[in-house]
Amino acid sequence: MAIYGIGTDIIQVSRVAAVMERTEGRFAQRVLGPDELAVYEARKARSEKRGLAYLCTRFSAKEAFSKAIGLGIRMPMTWRAVQTLNAPGGKPYMVASGELAQWLEARGITTQVSITDEQDYAVSFVVAETDRPADQPAAQPVR
């Protein structure tokens, strides 16, 4: 495996809280995938603070991911095309869908993600790896 790219992001929780207030909660629906949204709603129902922290870590992870793969937020990378979920033991992992999943597969890209939050900030770090040698061109998707 070789490193394809590295991305990191830090989010100020109060800024996301302000966006959530301004958008009357629609921001969460715009950036979270379906599995993330279900976890967010469950955590928010127990505690507004825990729901907000979850939203911030997932938003931060998407930003770090977009940097690691070198696309930023442009097709095929969209907010809802990648989700950060947790394995039974708690370890976070990223799952892509649709065109983004195909784009990653064509390049042999897998990721490792680390997320953390404190009262005021959420931070994410993503390493994108590839099984392709640097001099091997990326496979083109079959149409």
Token pair 């999943």: residue: 101
Q: Give the C-alpha separation, 62 to 111, whole Å.
A: 12
48 annotated to a ligand binding site: no
* 101 vs 78: CA distance, rounded Å: 11
* Helix or strand (DSSP H, E) at 111: strand 109-117
DSSP-derived pairing of the beta strands 82-86 and 92-96: antiparallel
Binding-site positions read: 9, 63
Known binding residues for Mg(2+): 9, 63
